[in-house]
Amino acid sequence: MVNVCDIQVMKPLLAEHGFHFSKAKGQNFLIAPWVPQSIALESGVDETAGVLEIGPGIGPLTQQLCLRAKKVCAVEVDNRLKPILDITVGEFDNLEILWNDVLKLDVPALVKEKFGGLRPMACANLPYYITSPILTALLEADCFDSVTVMVQKEVAQRIAAAPGSADYSAFTVFCQYYAEPELLFDVPAHCFMPQPKVTSAVIQLRVRKERNWDVLDEDIFFRTVRASFAMRRKKLSNGLASGFPELGKAGAAEVIEAAGFDVNVRGETLSIPEFARIANEIVKRHG
């Protein structure tokens, strides 16, 4: 197997094919072999798994996934990488590469078509410029057992944040609504070529089989969350009145009290079940 994390191997390979890194496509490739090995190991991928990888690059994580999974589907937008991937991962007959923009794919349909009978998992070293839209698509697809990804460390911290902390955000609530996050390990910038300006971290999102809260209307729930964080330094009543003009200030205060909270409560301190109580009161009045 070609050691794609070895710069002595990789540099001539890239030069031979006239490849130049694209900053716009988030191309920071792994050059420390322990990283793709650890991501694949910690992801829990095994011979029962069908794995969706986003952005194989020149294939360091792809190799590790192919060694463990029953099937790997890798989606790569940059087809200049084709001749290089032919060399680095061409030997794996459990790999299919789709030359496409992951954001243009119908993920649930793809999973159904490619991974019938297998345990669907997603695993990737993500292109950081589209971390949020990719994670949104993977979680909303609601068809993976788990999603294990490398992202910027600060994004990982935001995803795993607790209510009331500085990192807690609407994106935290979105991710934790669908999945339970676990921070796995940090990856320093020197593990990549070219080096990114930030530290990275690997996080696992284990998709919830059951959601132990009662949400009457998901659209209203997520609107409530976004309205709360849009004015996070202010009281929840201000955020709700602005996000739901139909409530007005008095209506927003009534909703908060009917849900069992002090009228001065701040949205950034609320847990998912607590946001659900507020959203359900809005549905009861205006749904």
In the complex, the residues that contact ligand SAM under the rule CB under 6 A are 25-30, 54-57, 60-61, 75-78, 101-103, 125, 127, 130
Sequence-separated (6 or more) residues with CB below 8 Å from residue 167: 154, 157, 158, 161
Q: How far is the CB of 153 from ligand SAM (least distance, A)?
A: 14
As measured in angstroms, the least distance from the Cβ of 204 to ligand SAM is 16
Q: Which is nearer to ligand SAM, 65 or 253 (CB)?
A: 65
* Beta strands 200-207; 179-187: pairing state: antiparallel
To ligand SAM, the closest distance from the beta carbon of 100 in angstroms equals 7
Nearer to ligand SAM, 177 or 192 (CB): 192
The residue among 103 and 216 lying less far from ligand SAM, judged by its C-beta, is 103
> In angstroms, what is the minimal distance from the CB of 129 to ligand SAM?
7
Minimum CB distance to ligand SAM, residue 46 (Å): 20
- Amino acid identity for residue 136 in this structure: T
Q: What angle, 0 to 180 degrees and rounded to 10, lies between the N-to-C axes of helices 236-243 and 272-286?
A: 40
The answer to whether 192 touches 203, Cβ cutoff 8 Å, is: no
Cα 12–chain centre separation? 33
What contacts 273, CB < 8 A, 6 or more positions away?
212, 213
Distance CA 95, CA 75 (A): 11
The smaller minimum CB distance to ligand SAM, of residues 91 and 101, is found at 101
Instruction: Work out the number of other CB atoms within 10 angstroms of the CB of residue 197.
Output: 8
To ligand SAM, the closest distance from the beta carbon of 170 in angstroms equals 23
Which residue, 78 or 254, is less far from ligand SAM as judged by CB? 78
CB-nearest residue to ligand SAM: 55
What count of other Cβ atoms lies within 10 Å of the Cβ of residue 92? 18
Strands laid side by side in the 200-207 sheet: 95-99, 71-76, 49-54, 119-125, 146-152, 200-207, 179-187
Which residue, 28 or 237, is less far from ligand SAM as judged by CB?
A: 28
Tell the smallest beta-carbon distance from residue 36 to ligand SAM (Å).
6
Q: Which is nearer to ligand SAM, 133 or 273 (CB)?
A: 133
